[in-house]
């Protein structure tokens, strides 16, 4: 029998000290634990501060809302903007959504377990908003919804819970950027994201992270994809961060459900990434791919995990991790895993870690590029993953964001 | 007589500690096209790569003067920006780098988009422009891509490493026509084993490299005929050949 919301929250209390299996441990209590601000009076995105607008733009958030079907902006523990710009679309804070939709407690904390570790527990017991985005049945968003979780206060821990629901037959595109103010180097972000992709619905979720150098980041993501549903996730982080650990899990629960997770990481400075992805195939004719491109430079460390679990027959999954090591002091640890529990499944993986090939650099130099220009072009090429399944405009925008982030590195 | 654009003076080069070039003397006048013949291992590719400045080709003595400047210590890209250009025999695959981007980089502001598209159409490379460089390209397509990049670069001096090897008849015609056009008003050094390319381009002179030295030079068509009829050994014993080979 399914547990009640209260029972699930109660479970979190027992996990407050539970250290996660992966990534460096972080003491939440060393950060400012502010309570959520009261539900806010929303402002126009144009009225955000110049700093907020500039930082958010880097993560794909446009203040004019041009080409966007809705906006959510949260600074620290306060929601500043939350509104849809299209019929059949809901964009609000999770706090607001809990008041509006009584049924929401039936599904919250079912895609992510509140007692998974101390970070999920921290959010379950002390949530500081987060976004709720929902498309009503059959509604297709033409433009993406933009959402930004922004940290403007030094040493703050942001504990958000996001819920994304694409009702049957709907289509929802989201661009989300998480970032810190330029003067905030140290902070912590814990973000719970639960996705419910209903029958025949499609969700694309493109996330750009640009954190400060001493920020700890712990996203906790669970995705449930029902019959014929599609979930596509693109994750881009090319900036220095203290530590970032996540292991989003996708459950393909209905026949014909599909998922694809792309991640592009660039490790700089002393960044520590432990980034994985898991797809659990629970119904026949489901398929999924996890594709990652990681570059480790300076003294960075990247653990790139991937796990495909087939719980039923007739499924197809592929895992690909390509790594590029640019420094002798950096490290890439690739962990591709396949777990097949029924016969008649097709699961595969490939992982490769290498350096930039000298013959390629020399070839480009023979076309007049300097060694640095050649290296830069090859690195950019390496990161240039073909993103399938995004609408053309959004694909172009994602590539533009990636390019902009990459330019920022140079 | 025009000044040489390229002068190679007593060039001795080793690769991995092994001497490959044993004192090569060769000059190419501005506007002259020279064919480089020689059996496998004679040092033809070594000469090309050394002119271009590839690492691993150690100059032990001698000089390479390009446009009157000793380029021996310059990097590859510096030499290329001075006007050297190369079409490789084997070219690597570049993941995520589109051919069109490479062409734009080579062309700079020198060619319009229309001119690039026209050149690509002539070389039947239009559908390859937005593909990753050399990924899934056939041998002939790689050769055509190399020539297309040279057209874009508009280099003054072309180094062509076996542009006709492993290429079918139809491709040789296509490549020959474009290379001939490209060489107009330019200088070049062309390695060819089979000599097919000579049916399409004007070559002013041929040089035969043997055991790391220039063994013979003269009319390219006559020398090619001798090599084809009698082989390199007999060719080197002919009247044209310079004394050093036989004296040593």
B110: its two tokens: 């020198």
pLDDT band (50, 70, 90) for residue B244: very low
What's the pLDDT score for residue B236? Answer: 75
Closest A-chain CA to B83 = A368
**Which member of A357, A368, A370 has the closest CB to residue B153?**
A368
What's the pLDDT score for residue A33? Answer: 85
User: Can you tell me the distance from the alpha carbon of A202 to that of A182, in angstroms, rounded to the nearest whole number?
Assistant: 35
- Rounded to the nearest angstrom, the minimum Cα separation between A383 and chain B is 7
Closest CA to B86 of B194, B197, B182, B196: B182
**Interval A90-101: pLDDT, tens:** 999 999 999 999
Q: Please name the residue that has the structure tokens 């700089």.
A: A268
Average pLDDT, chain B: 91
Question: Which residues on neighbouring strands pair with residue A346, listed in sequence order?
Answer: A316
Question: Which residues on neighbouring strands pair with residue B26, listed in sequence order?
Answer: B8
Using the Cβ of B159 and the Cβ atoms of chain A, whether some distance falls under 8 Å is answered with: no
What's the pLDDT score for residue B18? Answer: 96
Question: Which H/E stretch holds residue B18?
Answer: strand B18-29
Q: List the pLDDT tens digit at each of the 410 positions of chain A.
A: 578 999 999 999 999 999 999 999 999 999 988 887 776 667 888 888 888 888 887 777 888 888 899 999 999 999 999 999 999 999 999 999 999 999 999 999 999 999 999 999 999 999 999 999 999 999 999 899 999 999 999 999 999 999 999 999 999 999 998 888 888 889 999 999 999 999 999 999 999 888 889 999 999 999 999 999 999 999 999 889 999 999 999 999 999 999 999 999 999 999 999 999 999 999 999 999 999 999 999 999 999 999 999 999 999 999 999 999 999 999 999 999 999 998 899 999 999 999 989 999 999 999 999 999 999 899 988 888 776 667 777 788 788 778 877 777 66
User: Can you tell me the distance from the alpha carbon of A74 to that of A93, in angstroms, rounded to the nearest whole number?
Assistant: 9
Q: Let me know the angle formed at the C-alpha of A200 by A195 and A205, rounded to the nearest 5 degrees.
A: 35
Contact indicator for B104, A367 with CB cutoff of 8 Å: no
Q: Which of A355, A356, A361, A367 to mutate to test the interface with B (most CBs of B within 10 A)?
A: A367
Dihedral sign (CA B123, B126, B132, B135): negative
Question: Which H/E stretch holds residue B181?
Answer: helix B169-183
A314: left (phi over 0), alpha (psi -120 to 50) or beta: left
What's the pLDDT score for residue B240? Answer: 65
Closest B-chain CA to A382 = B96
What's the pLDDT score for residue A269? Answer: 94
Among the ranges given (A399-403, B19-23, B133-137), the one the predictor scored with the smallest mean pLDDT: A399-403
pLDDT band (50, 70, 90) for residue B246: very low
Question: Which residues on neighbouring strands pair with residue A90, listed in sequence order?
Answer: A134
Instruction: Flag if A378 and B97 touch (Cβ within 8 Å).
Output: yes
Dihedral sign (CA A59, A63, A65, A70): positive
Residue B110 reports pLDDT greater than 90? no
Q: Please name the residue that has the structure tokens 């072309």.
A: B158
How many contiguous H segments (helices) and E segments (strands) does chain A have?
A: 8, 21
In degrees and rounded to multiples of 5, residue A91 shows phi and psi of: -135, 115
What's the pLDDT score for residue B1? Answer: 52
Mean pLDDT of B67-92: 96
Average pLDDT, chain A: 92
Using the Cβ of B65 and the Cβ atoms of chain A, whether some distance falls under 8 Å is answered with: no
What's the pLDDT score for residue A273? Answer: 96
What's the pLDDT score for residue B241? Answer: 62
Q: In what order do the strands lie in the sheet with B4-15?
A: B18-29, B4-15, B57-66, B69-70
Instruction: Flag if B106 and A380 touch (Cβ within 8 Å).
Output: no
pLDDT band (50, 70, 90) for residue B196: confident
Q: Let me know the angle formed at the C-alpha of A248 by A245 and A254, rounded to the nearest 5 degrees.
A: 175
Contact indicator for B213, B44 with CB cutoff of 8 Å: no
**Interval B149-181: pLDDT, tens:** 999 999 999 999 999 888 888 889 999 999 999
Dihedral sign (CA B211, B215, B216, B217): positive
A221: its two tokens: 């993501």
Residue A237 DSSP code: E
Contact indicator for A396, A175 with CB cutoff of 8 Å: no
Using the Cβ of B136 and the Cβ atoms of chain A, whether some distance falls under 8 Å is answered with: no
Contact indicator for A138, A170 with CB cutoff of 8 Å: yes
A131-135 and A89-93 strand pairing: antiparallel
Contact indicator for A254, A199 with CB cutoff of 8 Å: yes
Cβ-Cβ contacts under 8 Å, B75 against chain A: 365, 370-371
Cβ-Cβ contacts under 8 Å, B52 against chain A: 366
User: Can you tell me the distance from the alpha carbon of A210 to that of A263, in angstroms, rounded to the nearest whole number?
Assistant: 14
Question: How far from B60 is each of A113, B11, B42, B53, B73, CA to CA, in Å?
Answer: 69, 8, 18, 13, 12
Dihedral sign (CA A89, A47, A75, A41): negative
What's the pLDDT score for residue A402? Answer: 80
In degrees and rounded to multiples of 5, residue B172 shows phi and psi of: -60, -40
**Residue B159: other Cβ atoms inside 10 A:** 23
Cβ-Cβ contacts under 8 Å, A371 against chain B: 75, 77
Q: How far is CA A299 from the centre of its chain?
A: 24
- Rounded to the nearest angstrom, the minimum Cα separation between B61 and chain A is 23
A218: left (phi over 0), alpha (psi -120 to 50) or beta: beta
With the CA atoms of A23, A28, A29 and A35 taken in that order, what torsion angle do they form, in degrees rounded to the nearest 10?
Answer: 180
**Interval A376-405: pLDDT, tens:** 899 988 888 776 667 777 788 788 778 877
Question: How far from A46 is each of A65, A71, A368, CA to CA, in Å?
Answer: 9, 11, 44
């Amino acid at each position: 029998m399914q547990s009640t919301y209260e029972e699930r929250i109660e479970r979190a209390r027992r996990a407050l000290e539970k250290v996660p299996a992966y990534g460096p441990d972080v003491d939440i209590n060393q950060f400012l634990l502010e309570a959520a601000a009261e539900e806010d009076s929303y402002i126009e995105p144009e009225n955000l501060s110049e700093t907020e607008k500039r930082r958010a733009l880097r993560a794909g958030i446009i203040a004019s809302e041009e080409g966007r079907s809705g906006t959510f902006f949260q600074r620290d523990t306060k929601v500043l903007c939350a509104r849809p710009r299209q019929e059949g679309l809901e964009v609000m804070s999770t706090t607001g959504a809990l008041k509006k939709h009584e049924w929401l407690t039936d599904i919250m904390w079912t895609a992510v377990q509140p007692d998974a570790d101390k970070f999920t527990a921290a959010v379950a017991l002390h949530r500081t908003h987060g976004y709720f985005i929902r498309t009503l049945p059959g509604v297709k968003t033409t433009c993406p919804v933009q959402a930004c979780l922004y940290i403007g206060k030094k040493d703050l821990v942001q504990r958000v819970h996001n819920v994304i629901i694409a009702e049957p037959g709907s289509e929802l595109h989201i661009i989300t950027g998480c970032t810190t103010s330029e003067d905030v180097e140290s902070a912590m972000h814990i973000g719970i994201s639960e996705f419910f992709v209903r029958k025949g619905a499609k969700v694309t979720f493109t996330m750009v992270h640009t954190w400060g150098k001493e920020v700890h980041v712990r996203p906790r993501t669970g995705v449930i994809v029902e019959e014929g549903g599609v979930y596509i996730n693109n994750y881009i982080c090319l900036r220095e961060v203290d530590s970032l650990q996540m292991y989003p899990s996708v459950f393909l629960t209905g026949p014909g459900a599909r998922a694809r997770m792309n991640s592009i990481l660039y490790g700089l400075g002393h960044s520590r990434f432990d980034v994985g992805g898991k797809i659990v195939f629970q119904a026949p004719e489901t398929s999924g791919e996890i594709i990652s491109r990681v570059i480790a430079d300076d003294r960075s460390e990247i653990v790139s995990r991937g796990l495909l679990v087939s719980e039923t027959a007739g499924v197809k999954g592929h895992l690909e991790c390509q790594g590029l090591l640019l420094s002798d002091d950096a490290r890439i640890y690739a962990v591709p895993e396949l777990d097949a529990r029924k016969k008649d499944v097709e699961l595969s993986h490939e992982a490769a870690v290498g350096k930039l090939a000298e013959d390629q650099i020399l070839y480009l130099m023979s076309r007049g590029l300097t060694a640095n220009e050649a290296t830069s072009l090859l690195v950019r090429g390496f990161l240039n993953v073909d993103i399938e399944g995004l609408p053309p405009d959004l694909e172009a925008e994602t590539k533009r964001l990636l390019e902009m982030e990459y330019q920022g590195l140079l | 007589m025009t000044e040489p654009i390229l002068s190679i003076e007593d060039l001795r080069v080793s690769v991995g500690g092994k001497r490959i070039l044993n004192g090569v003397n060769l000059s190419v006048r501005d506007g002259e096209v020279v064919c480089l013949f020689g059996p496998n291992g004679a040092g033809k590719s070594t000469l090309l790569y050394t002119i271009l400045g590839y690492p691993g080709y150690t100059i032990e003595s001698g000089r390479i003067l390009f446009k009157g400047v000793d380029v021996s210590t310059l990097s590859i890209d510096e030499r290329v920006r001075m006007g050297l250009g190369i079409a490789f025999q084997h070219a690597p695959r570049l993941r995520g780098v589109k051919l069109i981007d490479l062409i734009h980089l080579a062309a700079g502001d020198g060619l319009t988009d229309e001119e690039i598209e026209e050149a690509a159409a002539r070389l039947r490379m239009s559908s390859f422009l937005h593909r990753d460089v050399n990924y899934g390209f056939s041998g002939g397509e790689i050769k055509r891509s190399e020539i297309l990049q040279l057209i874009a670069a508009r280099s003054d001096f072309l180094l062509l490493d076996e542009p006709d090897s492993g290429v079918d008849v139809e491709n040789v015609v296509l490549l020959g026509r474009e290379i001939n056009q490209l060489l107009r008003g330019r200088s070049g050094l062309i390695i060819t084993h089979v000599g097919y390319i000579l049916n399409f381009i004007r070559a002013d002179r041929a040089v035969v490299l043997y055991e790391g030295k220039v063994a013979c030079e003269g009319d390219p068509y006559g020398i090619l005929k001798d090599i084809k009829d009698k082989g390199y050994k007999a060719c080197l014993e002919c009247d044209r050949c310079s004394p050093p080979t036989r004296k040593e």
